[in-house]
Amino acid sequence: MKAGNWFRRATGTTLGILGLILWVTGGLICFVWTLYVLFSIFGLWTIFVGLILAPVTYIASVFIIWFSTGHFPLILLIPYVLSFIGLMLASVGGKIRGEEN
């Protein structure tokens, strides 16, 4: 029984760490890319506004770039979706790992 618990904890921890890495990487790519587009179009003050409203900037990054440039950012959907997949993996890893006794 101990080997099964060890394997379950190791699998859950591995999935959680992988999910967190994907989530942070995808989120930072989207966030920095959005700040760059806002800076190049509107100027320096939009970086400060984007940093103050960081969660809104991240969630609305696809729409911000779309409305700022006039082109739908298909390439931005890859890290955007990857970050949500990472969040789901981290959640599944936590469920698999279970509670400590």
Question: Cβ(41)–Cβ(67) under 8 Å?
Answer: no
pLDDT at 3 over 90: no
pLDDT at 13 over 60: yes
What is the reported pLDDT for 100? Answer: 61
pLDDT tens-place string over residues 39-66: 998 888 988 888 899 889 888 888 988 9
Helices 45-52 and 2-42 cross at an angle (nearest 10°) of 150
What is the reported pLDDT for 76? Answer: 87
What is the reported pLDDT for 84? Answer: 92
- CB count in 10 Å sphere of residue 80: 20
> pTM for the full model?
0.80
φ and ψ at 59, to 5 degrees? -65, -40
